[in-house]
Amino acid sequence: MKELEIRKMLKEDIAALLVIENEAYSNGENWTKADFLAELDNPHYYPLVCISDNQIVGFCSGIIVEDELQITSVTVKTEFRNKKIATRMLIYLFDIACKNNVLSCILEVRENNIPAINLYTKFGFKKTGSRKKYYANKFDALILSIENMKSPEFLTEYERKKEQLCLVQ
Ligand SMILES: CC(C)(COP(=O)(O)OP(=O)(O)OC[C@H]1O[C@@H](n2cnc3c(N)ncnc32)[C@H](O)[C@@H]1OP(=O)(O)O)[C@@H](O)C(=O)NCCC(=O)NCCS
């Protein structure tokens, strides 16, 4: 795979993002243009895209409120999955969070979304709650959290991940 670049999302990216989004979700969970615009217009959000060979291959976003990061999306184009793109985007987002003195991180994931649950578990997320039948009035949302991003437990694993991906400067 060609070199990856992660940068801030731009309004001009939205058409390509909608294609990736509609491909990834088929059950009404997909974001609309209005959802992307709302994040781009809010300074508390950090929407990012990942580029390979001039095309967007994934995106992720999060909102920082006080000392908490809430991850709102992580999506990778189907044919680019399992290449650590989501891992790299989350590391990029966590680095922003660390610079903003964030202590904890929270997100929601469908209970049967095994790839996403595995991805988050590898970062140290743990189940801290759930919302019954949150998705399509059928599947629960699991609330996953990292309660202390400054703990040695989190930081050691985080640095190890960065080293593995040669992201240590
Ligand atoms: C979840 C998703 C973002 C993962 O992206 P990715 O770039 O393929 O993930 P990575 O390559 O960084 O994988 C990191 C870890 O996630 C887990 N994982 C990724 N894909 C997996 C799969 N198909 N099955 C099981 N675990 C998987 C693995 O633990 C993996 O670590 P490993 O490579 O050491 O085994 C991607 O599958 C996706 O876009 N899914 C559709 C959108 C979605 O559901 N987003 C999450 C919303 S909460």
Q: Which domain holds residue 85?
A: 4-164
The 10 Å Cβ neighbour count of residue 160 is 11
The answer to whether residue 169 is domain-embedded is no
Q: Is the pLDDT of residue 2 over 80?
A: no
Per-residue pLDDT tens over the stretch 34-62: 999 999 999 999 999 999 999 999 999 99
The 10 Å Cβ neighbour count of residue 37 is 12
Closest C-alpha among 128, 132, 119, 106 to residue 161: 119
The answer to whether residue 50 is domain-embedded is yes
pTM for the model stands at 0.97
Count of domains observed in the chain: 1
pLDDT of residue 136: 85
**Atom 3 of ligand 1 has which residue's CA nearest to it?**
75
Q: How many A from CA of 86 to the centre of ligand 1?
A: 7
Per-residue pLDDT tens over the stretch 127-164: 999 999 999 889 999 999 999 999 999 999 999 999 99
Q: Is the pLDDT of residue 121 over 70?
A: yes
Per-residue pLDDT tens over the stretch 68-82: 999 999 999 999 999
Binding site membership of 109 for ligand 1 (Cβ less than 6 Å):
yes
Residue 9, domain CATH: 3.40.630.30
Q: Is the pLDDT of residue 33 over 80?
A: yes
**Atom 23 of ligand 1 has which residue's CA nearest to it?**
115
